Amino acid sequence: MHSEQMLRPTLAELLQANPLSVSRALALGSRLFAELEALHCQGIVHGHLSLASVSVDHDDNMSLGEVSSSAGGDVAGDIYAAGVLLYELLTGAAPFPDAGFEMPIPPRALNVQIPSPLERVVLALLDTPGTTRFASAQAVLTALESLEPLAEDVALPNEISARAQTERPQSSQRHTKGAFAHLVTAMLAVNRGQYAEAVPLYRAALEEFRQLNKTSEILHVALLLGESVYRACVEGLAPSLIDPELLSFTRVALAEGGRIAQAEDQREAFRECERLANALEALQTQL
């Protein structure tokens, strides 16, 4: 039994041994959703997915471990839990640093080698359980398989290859890291209810992503900025932020995010940009 367990390490043990390349993490994620789809097609819900409950052999054949039931249960909950595992495989970290964290840290903030389309899939999986846009594990698997070419020859997390050094100037790398540092710090501030501290950091991140022409990141930060300003002003969490210049800046950012969402056919993100922009416009007319 002991030798068999050694030949089939858990995902937790794989991550402890070495960081995974993006292509390996994506391949394991695809295998995970394929196994999950096979269970669901039999009417089985797992219910207890975790890094410690899933094991793989040297060929990446996967075992999901003990399942909870053969009837009833929550398929959406399984998909959400598998999304958390995919996030951890790609970044080596948990998406929510503590129990009170409302939004996951964007995966690319922890591993810039993750392609933006893959990050969008992961963030969609981490929506509130039951509201994810993926109706089945098969739908997720199809999305992940379509992204496999983007993950080929990508460096390990926190490791910049010699090729990347020549392709991307050092100044660009520093600006990207600085933008993500501002973004993560702002999200942590929001989690503590410190909206007055978070908004300038979101603005700084947005300006840096604009300089780098990172459209997916611009959209993400615009939504975070809009939501923070909305909650701070409309819900009275930080009245000091009710400033015409800030409201104008945020509405411009949301309009920019809306254009990006339209171009990338992200309908939910586009509607959210519109909702926040309209709410802030209404507030601005009252000043």
Q: What is the CATH number of the domain that holds 81?
A: 1.10.510.10
**Consecutive H or E run containing 55:** strand 55-56
CA-CA-CA-CA torsion sign (221, 97, 17, 62): negative
Question: CB–CB of 246/229 below 8 Å?
Answer: yes
Q: Which of 200, 114, 104 is nearest to 150 (CA)?
A: 114
Rounded average pLDDT over 175-189:
74
User: Does 47 share its domain with 136?
Assistant: yes
Asked if pLDDT for residue 167 goes beyond 50, the answer is no
Rg (CA), the chain: 20
Q: Residue 261 and residue 253: Cα distance in Å, rounded?
A: 12
- Residue 35's pLDDT band (cuts 50, 70, 90): very high
User: Does 179 share its domain with 264?
Assistant: yes
Question: CB–CB of 35/64 below 8 Å?
Answer: yes
Task: For 206-237, write each residue's pLDDT tens digit.
Answer: 888 888 888 888 888 888 888 888 877 776 76
Q: Which of 285, 174, 263, 188 is nearest to 218 (CA)?
A: 263
User: Does 147 share its domain with 181?
Assistant: no
Using a 10 angstrom Cβ sphere, with 0-12 exposed, 13-18 middle and 19 or more buried, the burial of residue 114 is buried
Q: Residue 160 and residue 236: Cα distance in Å, rounded?
A: 44
User: Does 5 share its domain with 31?
Assistant: yes
What's the structural domain count of the chain?
A: 2
Q: Residue 232 and residue 234: Cα distance in Å, rounded?
A: 6
User: Does 2 share its domain with 136?
Assistant: yes
Which pLDDT value is given to residue 137? 94
- Residue 98's pLDDT band (cuts 50, 70, 90): low
Which pLDDT value is given to residue 27? 94
User: Does 76 share its domain with 208?
Assistant: no
**The domain containing residue 37 runs over which residues?**
1-154
User: Does 249 share its domain with 147?
Assistant: no
User: Does 227 share its domain with 263?
Assistant: yes
Asked if pLDDT for residue 130 goes beyond 70, the answer is no
CA dihedral 96, 102, 107, 110 (to 10 degrees): -60
pTM beyond cutoff 0.75: no
Which pLDDT value is given to residue 160? 35
Q: Residue 192 and residue 67: Cα distance in Å, rounded?
A: 37
- The answer for residues whose C-beta is within 8 angstroms of residue 277's C-beta and 6 or more apart is 226, 251, 254, 255, 258
Task: Give the residue with greater pLDDT, 285 vs 208.
Answer: 208
Q: For residue 32, give Cα distances in angstroms to 37, 64, 83, 127.
A: 9, 8, 10, 19
The CATH number that applies at residue 191 is 1.25.40
User: Does 187 share its domain with 241?
Assistant: yes
User: Does 141 share its domain with 177?
Assistant: no
User: Does 105 share its domain with 179?
Assistant: no
Q: Which of 117, 116, 88, 118 is nearest to 104 (CA)?
A: 88
Q: Which of 154, 176, 201 is the last residue of a domain?
A: 154
User: Does 145 share its domain with 168?
Assistant: no
Q: Which of 125, 154, 183 is the last residue of a domain?
A: 154
Rounded average pLDDT over 260-284:
87
